[in-house]
A and B are shown apart, each in its own frame.
Chain A
Amino acid sequence: MSTHEYRLIASTKSPEDLVRHDRVDVSLYNDPALFEAELEKIFYRTWVWVAHESEVRNSGDFKTATIGRRPVIVVRDKKNSINVLENRCRHRGATVCEKHKGNATGFTCPYHSWSYGLDGKLRALPYPDGYEGILEKSELPLTSLRVESYAGMIFASYNDEIEPLEDFLGGARHWIDLFMKQGAGYPIKTQGEHKFSFKGNWKIQLENTTDGYHFPIVHKSFMSSVDEETSQMLSFMTDEQAVTHSLGNGHSVMVMVPEHVDLDHDDGTEQLQERFAHVTEELSKTLPPEQVRRIVRSLHGAGFNLNLFPNVAMSMSFFRVLRPVSVTETEIRHVALGMDGGPDIANRERLRIHEHFQGPFGFGSPDDAEAWDRVQRGSYAGVDAPILVNRGLNREITAENGDKVSHATDEGGMRGAYDMWKRMMSQ
C-alpha cells in the first residue's frame, strides 16, 4: 500500500477508532495527516513546557524554543515578567533571534531592522515615511502567547481559552512539588542539556517515560556499568511498591525508587551510597550531618518519572523535553539539574551521573533510541496489527483520588496519555 493510500484509510478513522482502551492504531506513529492534526489540536491548543525559570533568571535573559514547529522566544522583560513571543518579524516573517540562549535588550530583525522590545512591542523601524498613515506600530508586536508557571516550570499556550495551568496539571502538581525536593533545601537550576534526535514519532518517546517494562532489558548495559547499590536501587521489576499512577489529563508518574519519592522522609536506615563517599566526605567538612545526608540522598534525584502531556517529563534527576519535528522524527533534550547555590562538588557529581546515562553518547539513551527507531521501522509492517498498551489491565485499581494505579512495569501511564490524545484529537 502506498503512503498516500494508507493516509486515506487512516484519515477516515476517527480518534475513537484509532485509540481503544488497550491498544492504539499503528497509524498514530506514521500517518502524516494525523501528525498535522496533532500539531493543530494538541501542540497549538494545550499547555506546552518551554523553559525553567533558572534559564531566564535576569531581565533580558532569553532562550529560544519551539512549540510544534513554531519557533518562539522565552524572555524575561524589564518588569520581571516572562514573555513567550513568536520568533517571527511582523514585517516579512524572518526570525528575529537565532541564538539558543543569551541576554539581550531587544530583538532586531536582520532583514529590514524592525526592532522589538523584550515585551515584544515594535519599537522602531527604519525610514518610517513609507508607512505614514498606513501602519500603527502598536498593532504589530511580536505575537505573544499565554504564559503561566508552576514551581518554576514555565508553560505557554497558543490557546487563549485554555484552562489555568494549575487545573491542567491537576494531580501532577503534588508530584512536581515532590520532584523539586531534590534541591535539598536549594532551588533547582538547570545545568546544561543533551540534545539528540531519533527517526521516530514523538509518542514513542512519550510512552517510554513511564515504561518500566523496558528498563532492565534495553538498559542492561547501563545497569551492568553501575555499582551494586545503584543497580539495586533501580531494580524495581518485582517491587510491589513500584507503581505507576495515571494522573488524569494524560499525565502519569512511575515510581521506581519508593524510598526516594519524598526526599524529606528519611527514617535513617538508608546507607549513603559508597560511590558518593568523596562527596559525603567533602561536604562533611562544612555542613552538618543531616544536611550532608539530605544532599547525598538527593543526588540521583527523585524516585520517580513524572510524565506531563504532551512534551515534558521530570525524570528522576533531569527534565526530558520532546519536540515533534515530523511524523517520523523527534528531538529530545535531557536537561541536567542542580542545586542553585548548592555545593559545587554535589552539582558536579550530578553532571557526571547525567553524562553516564543521558544524551547521544550516554550509556542509556542510545539504546532507547535504537529501540524507538525500530518501533518506527516496524510500524510500517503492521497495518492491521495494533500497538498494545494493555499490560497490567488485570491488576489496575482506581485509587480514592481517582488515580489509576498499577505496577511500574505496566502500561497505565500510556493508556492515560492516549485517553488524553483521543480527547484532544476529538475536539
Chain B
Amino acid sequence: MALSGIAPSLHARVGYRSPMSKPARGATVEFQQVTKHYDRREKGPGAVNDLSLTVPTGKICVLVGPSGCGKTTSLKMVNRLIEPTSGRILIDGQDIGGQDPIALRRGIGYVIQQTGLFPHQKVGENVAVVPRLLGWDKKRRRERTDELLSLVGLDPGRYRDRYPSQLSGGERQRVGVARALAVDPPVMLMDEPFGAVDPIVRERLQNEFLRLQEQLAKTILFVTHDIDEAIKMGDLVAVMQRGGILAQFGPPDEILANPVSDFVARFVGADRGLKRLSLARVRDLELLPVVTAREGADAADARARARAAPFQYLLLVDASDRPIGWVDQDSIPSAGLLTEEMAIAMSPLLDRRATLKDALSMIIDAEVVAGIVVDHEGRALGLVTADTIGAAMRDGIVTEAATRNEPPDEASDPDGETDDPDGETATIDRLGAGG
C-alpha cells in the first residue's frame, strides 16, 4: 500500500500498538479562524464563519446546534472531506492542509450517521476496512477485529461473519465505533453516531461509549443536534447557530449555568437548571455527617451520641456497616442493646457515582427527606438532602466537578468501581462508623 508523502508524526500514530493496554492517546485539534463559504453552484451542508476553538487532548468536544449551523461541515473539514475557504486546522500543532488527505483520513477514526457500514461486507471485514487499506496481513486484521468486537461488547465468534443487515440498530452502531477504532487513531470524528437507535438503546450506547472513552482518552469531535446528548457526552460543548457562528464554547455546566445569549439560552432549554443536575455526581457533594450505631451495640452510648448530633435520627447499621434503618433518638432505650426492630424508616441508598438528578429524584420520592450515600460495598458514608443539592448548585460545585481535569489513568479501571483518590475520607471519619 503506497503511503508515501504521509507526515512522519501521523505515520507513527497510525501504527497500531498491541495489545490494547497502551492505546494511542488523543491529540489536540485546533480550529484557527476557519471559514467555509459555498458559492451558489456548490451544494453543502452549511457554512462556517470564522470558527476558532481548541479541543484538548483526550477530550470530547460536542458540536451542537440546529440544522444548517455548520456543525457537520466543521467536522468534515477535519478529515478534509470539505476544504475550508480560509483558516487552518491543526492536529497536534500540524496544519492538516499540507498533509496527504488519504493518509490523514486513515489516521482519523470516522463514525457517520446511520453508521455507514458497508452492507456487502461482513462485520469482520467492515471493522478491518482501514487496516486493510494500510496493508495489514490477514492474521493481524483478524486478531484486531476480534479484539475490537470484544471491546464494544460483541462476541467475535457470533458476529464476525454476519452481514450488517443481520444486526440490530444498536449492534450496528457498536460495529461502527469498532471500525473507527481499528487502527487506534488519536482523533475521532463522530457525526450523530447514536442517532439511528431508539432512546433506550441510545442511552446505553452513550454510557458504554463514555466508559470506553475513559480507557481510550481519544480526542473526539462529536456532532449532534440533541442538546441533552451534547451535555451528557461533552467535556466541552460548542453551541453553533445558523450561519456557522460559534455561539458559545465551554464545559457543559458553564453553558447551562451562564448562557451568553438568548439563542444559547433558548437552545439549551428552560429546564437548564435541571439539566445541570445531571452533570454532577453525588461524590462531588460535601455530605452531611450521620451518627451511626451497629445493631447489637450498647443503647445508652448510642443515645448519648445521637443526642449530641444535630440530626434527630440515628442510623442503625449491620455488622458490615450497611444501613438497616433510622431510629428516632427519643425512642432509643436508655439501657440494653440496639435491635433491628427499633428502625422505623429507611432512606434511599445512593451510589457515589449517581447523578444529582437521580439522587434528587430518589430523595423527593422517599419517606425520609435525606438519601444515604454508600460506597461500593454498601457502607454508609453520609447524607444528602434536597437542600445540600440546592446549595451545591448555587455554590458552583457542579461547575467545578464538571470541569475538573481528571487524569485519564484515574479512571482506567475497566469496571469503573475504583474509588476516586479525592473521595470523602473525611466524611467517613466523621461518621465514626467503625467505633
The answer to whether A and B belong to the same complex is: no
Q: Which residues of A contact B (CB under 8 A)?
A: none
Which B residues have a C-beta under 8 Å from some C-beta of A?
none
